Amino acid sequence: MPRFALVALLVASPLLAASPHDATSSGGMVVSVSPPATDVGVAILKVGGNAVDAAVAVGFTEAVTWPEAGNIGGGGFMLVYPGGKDKPVVIDFRETAPASAKADLFTKGVNYQSITTAGVPGTVRGFELAHKSFGKLKWADVLAPAVKLAEDGFPVTDGLAKRLNMITTDTKTTNAEFLRVFKKEGEWKAGDVLKQPDLAKTLKMIATKGADGFYTGPVAELIAAEMKASGGLISLDDLKAYKAVQREPIVGTYRGFDVIAAPPPSSGGITLLLALKMLETQDVKKNPWGAADTMHLVAEAMRRGFAERAKYLGDPDFVKIPPHLTTKDHAKKLFADFDPNKATKSETLAGDIKISDGGPDTTHYSVVDSAGMAVSTTYTLENAFGCRVVVKGAGFILNNEMTDFNHKPGVTTRTGLIGTDANVIAPGKRMLSSMCPTILTKDGKAVLVTGSPGGRTIINTVLGIVVNVADYGADVRTAVDAPRLHHQWFPDRITLEDRPGFAELEQALKAKGHALAKVKIQGDGHSIWIDPKTGLRTGAADKRLDGSAKGE
């Protein structure tokens, strides 16, 4: 029996029953937001695929089973740690601005549900580059499970049913094809089967012809036709010209671990390492995680890291990134004025930036195989369900990633709008991202694979997981469950997850001069810990959303 047929059989009947959030294995491990996608990844490992084969299969499957963020119409970053003597690499498949895009595209305002917000998708080229560089199985075998799930359908979870009902009844959702594909007569309920035959056809084309089956030929023509019909910017030439890029990751150290993360055009790696370097100047574990003094300390590092992000980071093919940003000396300089008793005012960090008074959805998954190869992948449509446009006849949702560029050049506001030059729209440019796929290693072996969705909060969600592991020695479940906070320079406030004791924490932080906001949840940090002594893999799916962890 061919491998793809065996894999298809293994995932032919996804279980509706709740999948475990925790798993251990001496072999491979997959943790993702979508239980069917997790099952696919493990099935790929069982038939001889490696971590990249599994990661690519999970990504294509989530395009079917997690339509709000899983995609072939968006983009992202895949961090691969091969193990042994091979160096880690990042596959950059971030979307690009179409050739006709201008810097002033959004200066008069932005409609997040407009097709003009769609950048040139990168996911398919990125997955192909990763597979060509590291994969073991045949390309068609890796796509086979996603094709089957799109064609035959899968039972939706209660969470997905609720999100489909919400998005299809929202008055801002107006694209007829989106509503045809995802709206149900009556309401979606857990157990209802979602079939996507047009998406299955597109995936079959990709399985047969590789990424060219998406960027040229009939699928590309359908994308171009949708652009012409709806006023979008992407042309056939834009699609044909798109290339995924293999980049060197950002690498640094923290508390005896090597930290490996995504480089620009992701801001994740540099901002994460910069915050960690600032925290390394302090005794973080002097107070428990969640204590007011700890949250103040971490928020001040976040504040300064995000100010540097705004000043300097963008697509490295268009912007010169200062090489000193993640050095210890720079971190010490930035943190020299830290006051343990008083919040810094964000405006004092603006430098030459003039300040005026002027719900992203991504998904992350982690994979480790039995040989020790580790893959951390974060990819996105930007907002939940992207721009809420389905390409007619092709079955997939388009991103609204163009909104990640700075909307108004030269205008940075106290409400959080950034207008610095580094991330202004230009044809062919990749928009700045906060995605932060991250791997920690010790003595040359991967020990933590992590990441998260959540827009700008992504970096700080990963920061919290890393600090809990590295400073407090927390196990991966405790690190993933730990309460999260976020500070992004502007707005000048800390956001905190609503947990028992919030009122007391709020009072203590306000006494230090912080403004606060309360959120229900932050991020979705599906992570894997690999014990450096025994090699045992422990998967922890974040309980804040759907998800599952499963061992080989």
Query: Tokens in use for 211?
Result: 């990424």
Please report the beta strands in 319-359, taking only residues with DSSP state E, as ranges in sequence order. Answer: 355-356
- As a whole number of angstroms, the distance between CA 366 and CA 448 comes to 9
Q: What angle do CA 213, 59, 245 make, to 5 degrees?
A: 65
Query: Tokens in use for 208?
Result: 């047969």
Q: Are 73 and 398 in contact (CB under 8 A)?
A: yes
Cα→Cα distances 399→67, 75, 350, 393, 505, Å = 11, 8, 31, 17, 38
User: What's the chain's length in residues?
Assistant: 552
- As a whole number of angstroms, the distance between CA 331 and CA 341 comes to 20
Positions annotated as catalytic residues are 362
Q: Which of 534, 542, 547 is nearest to 24 (CA)?
A: 534
Q: Are 391 and 283 in contact (CB under 8 A)?
A: no
Beta strands 494-497; 516-519: pairing state: parallel
Q: Which of 393, 55, 2, 6 is nearest to 197 (CA)?
A: 393
Q: Are 396 and 402 in contact (CB under 8 A)?
A: no
Query: Tokens in use for 533?
Result: 């002594």
Tell whether the torsion through CA atoms of 503, 504, 507 and 510 is positive or negative.
negative
Query: Which amino acid is residue 314, in one-letter code?
Result: G
DSSP 478-534: HHHHS--EE--SSSSSEEEE--TTHHHHHHHHHHTT--EEEES------EEEE-TTT
